[in-house]
Structure 1
Amino acid sequence: MNYAIVNIQGKQLKLTENKYVYVPHISINLKEKIFLNEVLFFYEDGSIKIGDPFLKDVNVQVKILEHIKGKKIIIFKKKRRKGYKVKNGFRPFLTKIQVISIKIKNGS
């Protein structure tokens, strides 16, 4: 089983082929295929490649499946003995992607 650790908008995610994952919102149309080239780590059949900071010869191809809103996150602030309480919340925008392939460029 090969996998890659990829940086997507400041989040580091472990991606495996043919798996679905929710990532921070990517503003690209549905059903479009893109390449992620900020690969930090790559593992394949016992061999390991570590980027410095990124691997230039590894690309991860993903397909955009849907754009959704995540579960509500509650932010609660309070200062004791002062009567100060604030409750806020928001639902983050997420993108569901499917990893199609993890490719190594020729020559390595």
Structure 2
Amino acid sequence: MYAIFKSGGRQYEARPGAVVKLEKLPGEVGENLTLDQVLLFSDGEQVQVGQPLVQDVAIRARIVEQGRHRKIIVFKSKRRKDYQKKQGHRQYYTAVRIDGIEKQA
């Protein structure tokens, strides 16, 4: 059983028990979430594809961690113009554990 869902402008795959790092979501560690923007749902036998969303399917998740990714370096330069700019960036994320995928029927 798995589902494809949308969060923060990106698409993620959800399987029960998996930990997924999403774009920053409000909430404290230990809180429960319901992710209801499901694009595709498969129960092992049938596959439902939404147009654009699958109705009556929701993903239950629990916040495991609020953190930041590794630093990336953004370096810009223009040759022969004596221009260089170096900048670092760390993106915030929310790690969630997928507790289950529910079909309301």
How far apart, CA to CA, are the structure 2 residues paired with 1:74 and 1:5? 31
TM alignment of 1:1-108, pairs within 5 A:
2-106=1-105
Distance in 1 of aligned mates of 2:34 and 2:101: 9
Structure 2 residues without counterparts, runs of 5 or longer: none
C-alpha displacement of 1:20: 0.8
TM superposition shift of 1:12: 0.5
**Structure 1 or 2: more strand by fraction:** 1
The share of aligned pairs that are identical, in percent, is: 30
SS at match of 1:100: strand
- Give the secondary structure class of the aligned counterpart of 1:40: strand
Letter aligned with residue 86 of structure 1: K
> Normalised by the size of structure 2, how large is the TM-score?
0.94
CA RMSD of aligned residues (A): 1.0
* Runs of 4+ with >4 A deviation: none
Q: Deviations over 1:20-62 (max 9, x none)?
A: 1111111112211111000011112131111111112110000
Query: Number of residues paired by the alignment?
Result: 105
CA distance in 1, matches of 2:41, 2:81: 52
- SS of the aligned residue for 1:101 comes to strand
Distance in structure 2 (CA, Å) of the matches to 1:53 and 1:78: 42
Letter in 1 for 2:26: S
